[in-house]
Structures are given as C-alpha cells and as structure tokens.
Amino acid sequence: MFFSIGAASLSSSVLCDDLIQYYRNKHDLREEQASLGRLESLNADYDALLNRLEEDPNLVVDRLAPATFGTESDDPNTVYPRATSQQLAAARKALMEESNNDPTEVAMPPWLRRCSEPRNRFLLFISGVVLVLVSFVCFRPTIS
C-alpha cells in the first residue's frame, strides 16, 4: 500500500507537465471540432445557395445583381437596407470584441491545478520517494 501510494504520487509529480499538455490538447481538439462544425454548416449553406442558383439562373439577375451593383430593385417586396459607415464600424468593432472574448480556459481537474504548482509538485515528489523507501526498508521480505 505504501509503495502504491508512493509510486502514484511520484509518477504524478513527474508526469504533471504531460497531464497538463494532455488536457490542453483535449481542449484544443474540442475547439477545432466546433470550428469544423461551423465550417461544415457554412459549406452546406453555400452548397444550397449554389444549387438554387444552378436551378434558377434568373435568381442571379433578380436578387444578387441589384445587391452587388448597388442598383435599386423593381420588386416592391424586396428591401435593401443601407448602412452608414458609423454603423459598419460599430458592427465590426462588436464582432472583433466578440472574437477576442472567446473563453479559452482549459478545463483541468482541480487536483492537477494544485499539483502543477512548483512547491506542491516538489513536496509530492519528496513524499512519494519517502513512501517508496519506507515500503522497501520496512516491508521487505526477510531472508531466513
């Protein structure tokens, strides 16, 4: 029992950096999978739009050309809002702040966060060494 606890504390103090890197990689993988999901959704939306454009070529002339070239539309049911430069700047600023405020905190277990502190890591290493030595010295097999 002494040896098991000592070996566990010794290995956790030695492998602490690897465990932290494991949790960071796991967090990065989740973020990248979420980003990939957003990109796949955008690709599906663009594919649907391209399919609609291939099916109805008049859609390009009727809807996209006035929006692209800035001409007025004849359709009374279509509204093209005009944005001022101040509104566009405010929207750009809000989007930049939103992208800068992404919560990128790595979800690590509390015990690993405590063990990663240098003082606690050193004490964990020393206590592991002491427990392993105690198990070898006090509980060794006797030679008769």
Q: Where are the domains of the chain?
A: 2-138
pTM of the model: 0.58
Question: For the segment 42-83, what is each residue's pLDDT rounded down to a tens digit?
Answer: 899 889 888 887 887 776 666 666 667 766 666 677 666 677
The whole-angstrom separation of Cα 38 and Cα 32 is 10
Helix axes 2-14 and 118-138, enclosed angle (nearest 10)? 150
Residues across the chain: 144
pLDDT above 90 covers a percentage of the chain that reads 35
Which pLDDT score is estimated for 98? 67
Question: For the segment 82-117, what is each residue's pLDDT rounded down to a tens digit?
Answer: 777 888 888 888 878 766 655 567 788 888 889 889
Exposure b/e, 44-79, CB count within 10 A at least 16 = b: eeeeeeeeeeeeeeeeeeebeebeeeeeeeeeeeee
Cβ contacts of residue 135 below 8 Å, gap of 6+?
2, 3, 6
Mean of pLDDT values over 20-45: 92
